[in-house]
Structure 1
Amino acid sequence: MKKGPLSAFTRSPNKAANVLPIPPARQRLVIGNWKMHGDLDLCLETVSVLADVVTPQVGLVLCPPAPYLGEIRRLAQGTRLDMSAQNVAELSGGERTGEWSARMLAEVGCRYAIVGHSERRRHHLECDQLTAAKAQACLNAGITPVVCIGESQLERDNLLTEHILGRQLRHLVQIPGWREVVVAYEPVWAIGTGHAATPDEAQAAHAFIRACLAQTDPVAAAQISVLYGGSVNEHNAAALFAMPDVDGALVGRASLSPQALSRIYTAALRS
């Protein structure tokens, strides 16, 4: 698979100039995004396997399709497992058949909600402004938005990675609550392809994201959790988590196996 250079991303990720200090407050997270997969049996198996694995050191978040949020809440009651929605409306209510508000998600127990996932951008034509509005709606309801950003293969090949990431982040930092978000770098060329970014590629992108945020607020940039998403699995997770600016993962296909997700989480604990 062709991978274009990343211009300024090619600097060594191990140089101190490219890595902002990691403050104690930076949260490490592993989020399992089932997308439009799963059933009640998977809900039961996943909670059964993972409930005793979770520790306070690293958060573990399950992100099932919306019809199963209530079942996950019921099964996970009394455990350290957290729950996320895969989508949310930018409005607090109204005539929007098929949508749900952040307040509703908070009421059923969601601590997080994914916004701006590449599949929402591609299939539902969601733009940067809408993603930022959804993020602020989450914050208004006490939910942490997981804001997804990333470039396509064509954009990468044309050396536009920094331009795309910078544009997406510029819209994000315009909302009042941006300092409380989680950012997920999900290179579109890696999602579902089996071709994850190398640890050095992921680190370079994450360092660039943090440097962009630092132009607005260096302290917040150092504190925001930046997750990697894109063909994360139990075989590459440990190497990705070893990178200083990779604070966890947004896991797709591999999260459909509770055993695989458990091993990914264990790798995050050991990093």
Structure 2
Amino acid sequence: MVLLAACAAPSEAEHIADELEKFRVGGAYSPTYPHDGNPVSDVSAMYFAAALADSVGRAEGMIPVGEVKEHAKSDPGCDEVLFVAATLHILRESGLAIEEKAASCTLVWLKEQGVTKANAEGVEFSLQMLERLGYADDIPPLQAELFEVKNRADRYHAWQTIALSPYLSNEEEARSHFKKQISEAGDFLDSVSVESDASLGEVVAASRVVERDGNPEGVKEWLGQVRGCGEVKALYRPTLSAPGCTLKDTWTALMSGITPP
């Protein structure tokens, strides 16, 4: 269970769970805070809220089961049904049929698509959820796209791809192809400061590539500044300039193991 192995200190996760209610909008969760209070229908936000609460054993009672089950009744597509099944699994409300449906179509998709510049983040979340559902041994070796790195966004996607090395069928080829970007990961982390325009996704991906013990001082300071938005103090913003916190970025930070205690 590679992608679900990391965990933040209990105090960090507890503080996050304490503030999840601020993301609640009616019977669902907004993916961001602040929000306008209007009803939302985002099952991925429900999953991230459930996963964050579950990290400290508090998902049951916090996540509206009925709202998630309504998504299941709407005959969702493959990506959405995986979020539904994983959320219900966390809440101990899932059935074998929906888990099998979610796993079956996702495994086919992974085998056909592999890891590409466009889907690396989605692949990572899919792998996390498959592992949660008990399908880790069924995940096929994934072919990584060896794309040309032309800009900063491409470099970020290269880091995301290399972070998935344990799943890649062409791992050695990918590491050779992205050798320059791998070597740049450490330099990037050393350059992060409260004056930089780094994104949380970049910091997490680079940290997973270099696999250091502990963060550079600049990253520690930066994480302290990117944490919190208004009344919400424990969750994370995607960048220093972002106006609000997101459930997805907070989950990404928590699972990466880079967040402070």
**When the two structures are superposed, what TM-score results if normalisation uses the length of structure 2?**
0.27
Larger Rg: 2
**When the two structures are superposed, what TM-score results if normalisation uses the length of structure 1?**
0.27
